[in-house]
Structure formats: C-alpha cells, structure tokens
Structure 1
Amino acid sequence: MSIGDVHVRKATEADQPAVEHILTTSWGGTIVIGHGVEYNAARLPALIAERDGAVAGLLTYHLTDDTLEVVTLDAPARHTGAGTALLTAAIDLARESGLHRLWLITTNDNLDALRFYQRRGLRIVAVTPDALDLVRERKPFVPQEGHYGIPLRDELTLELRL
C-alpha cells in the first residue's frame, strides 16, 4: 500500500534490527504495557512504512477474534505521512480480515496522538484513571510528567468500528 511517497508493507525477519531500534528509541525498550497487558512489541506482527527505501515508521499490532489492537505506532519524522499510511494500512488489514474493531491505548498527555487519531475517525471510548501507576510498577522509568508538562496518569482507549 502506498500513500504519497510512503510505502507500507508487512515487516519481515530482516526488519528486526530496525523494529527493535525504533521501539527502544520511542518506548525505552521493546516491552510495552497497555490496559494491564505486557507485550514484547518486537515479537508482534508489524507494518513498516518506507520512504525512498528507508524505514520511516512502524506499527505493531495484536489480533484477536474480531479486533485489531494497535500496540505501537511510531513515525519518528512527524507530519510526513508515515503515521497516516501505517494507520490506513492497519485499518485496511483489519477490514480485509473481517474484523469489526480497530482500537488502541494512548495516555492522557499525548495530545498530538489524540488529535491524530480523532482526525482519522477513531473515538475515545474509555478512560482508565491512574493506569500509569500500574505501568510504573513494571517499568519504573516511566516519567511522572508527560508531554507539555501534563501529569502522566491515565490511559485513554480509542476505537474505530469497522
């Protein structure tokens, strides 16, 4: 799938070093915790965005019977179309697989992500107050303060019904 000059494809074993690098840079490692579940995101299925042959972004996901959960979405260079291309590809994958819901978790401080997801049709469907307290029990390096100086406390669930 391509959007503009960004091409999205499924990750292969050859992409493992790039996947681990992006996750470690963005998440402090490959372990990601959301809604009380711990994932090794480097071992999940993934989509890779490329521009001019170079990796421009990564989306990892987890499939269940009728849903696709976006576990991580990283486009290190902002406003280049890589994030949109990755999310669009994940939505297409979910629809093609006959799934009924795409969803994800973000945090209360992540205003840029909230804007990004809502502009692409996702809706906030739940807030889990103080969820980051549990995350910090397993990942003590998660900061108390997030983006824009906002206290990092809560998880927000966003979804797109398919």
Structure 2
Amino acid sequence: MDKSVRTENIHVTSTKNVVIRWASSPRDYKWLQSLWVSRWGGETMVSHGQFFKVTELKAFLATDQGKIFGALTFSANPGQSECVSLDALAPRMGIGTALLNAWESWARHQEIERLWLITSNDNLNALRFYQKRGFRLCRLYPGAVDAARLQKPEIPLLGETGIPIHDEIELEKWIGTESGY
C-alpha cells in the first residue's frame, strides 16, 4: 500500500491551509487507486449496478503543503453529477465539506442542477454528513448491495457498526434551480 494513504499518522489542526485542487497527474491517480484499495477494497466500485474505475473519474484532492488529506471522485452527465467516493483522511476537520463545496462550485459553473450519490444502509455517518449539507434522501434500492456483492465479493456483509449491509440509499441536492428542494 502507498504510504501516503495511511491514516494513522494524519493530524490536521486546521483546514485554513488546505487547498482543493484537481487530480491531474498519473501520480495523483496512483494515489487514488491506493486509497480505493485501502478504504474501499479494490480499484473499482460498484454502485447502482454500475462499475466505476477511479482512473476514469474526475477527482478533487484536498492538500496541505503537498500532502493529500482527502479526495472526492465523481462522474458527470448532462444536468447531473454523481459523487462516487468521498474520503476525508482527517475526519471532522472540514475536509469533506471543503471537497463537497468544490464539487458543488464546479457543478454550478457547468450548469449542472442535480448532485447525487449512493451510500449503503449501514453508513450512518455518511447519511448524517450529507443531510447536514443539504442532501435529501430520494430513493431506496433494496438488495442492491447484495446484488453488487455477487460482482464484487470483497464487499463486506457487515458495516463498521455491525449493521448488515444490504441496500443502497440515494441522496440528492438540487442546485441552481427554483424547482429543487
């Protein structure tokens, strides 16, 4: 595993020096691959029946003095953009929020109206985090994680809190429109 992805020695006291930038170099994407392997169990992710490769996604990185502290990967289609992964390696320091804000700012400039993402039923921290930042629950996909596990067996049966992982939950945030929430 790439040592830059190890989380046990990460210490951030403030996010005032954190810079959000595009992942643009082969080195950035190699780091993202290592991150996905260490945090998500592989270089691919399955969500709503679709396989994602980190090297095929757009990504923002949160850095401080050249060291990476977080990443947000996403795909974009006309009118909407999906967050595929969000990792803040120093939790509760504003890194995840800064990455979400960068994604939303980018989306507004692209005239994208809908931001959305999928999380699993066990991920209570993610559900809390996204809802506090304006995302709303919009769809439930019962058994979707069970189906994804057939394609990617390394998906665990239980979440970190012991909740069985079975379902996907879609959250969305409408931006730049009067018709959104």
Q: Compute the TM-score of the two structures, normalised by the length of structure 2.
A: 0.85
Aligned to 2:167: 154
After TM superposition, list the pairs within 5 Å mapping 1:14-53 onto structure 2.
14-53=27-66
Residue 152 (structure 1) shift:
0.4
Aligned to 2:24: 12
Aligned to 2:92: 79
Residue 134 (structure 1) shift:
1.0
Q: Distance in 1 between matches of 2:54 and 2:28?
A: 13
1:101 matches 2:114: yes
Aligned to 1:88: 101
Q: Distance in 1 between matches of 2:140 and 2:160?
A: 18
Aligned to 1:61: 74
Residue 52 (structure 1) shift:
2.9
Residue 43 (structure 1) shift:
2.3
Contact 2:137–2:170 at 8 Å: present in 1 too? yes
Regions of 4+ moved over 4 Å: none
Aligned to 2:10: none
Contact 1:6–1:81 at 8 Å: present in 2 too? no
Q: Compute the TM-score of the two structures, normalised by the length of structure 1.
A: 0.95
| Bigger-Rg structure (1/2) | 2
The alignment's C-alpha RMSD in Å is 1.1
Contact 1:23–1:42 at 8 Å: present in 2 too? no
CA-to-partner distance for each residue in 1:101-149, whole Å, 9 max, x for gaps? 0000000100001111000000000111111111111111211111211
Contact 1:48–1:59 at 8 Å: present in 2 too? yes
Q: Percent identity?
A: 41
Contact 1:41–1:72 at 8 Å: present in 2 too? no
Contact 2:29–2:54 at 8 Å: present in 1 too? no
Aligned-partner SS, 2:37? helix
Structure 1 counterpart of 2:46, one-letter code: I
Q: Distance in 2 between matches of 1:143 and 1:20?
A: 19
| Structure 2 unaligned blocks of 5 or more | 1-14, 176-181
Structure 2 counterpart of 1:129, one-letter code: P
Aligned-partner SS, 2:61? strand
CA-to-partner distance for each residue in 1:27-72, whole Å, 9 max, x for gaps? 1111001111111123211110112321001111100011010011
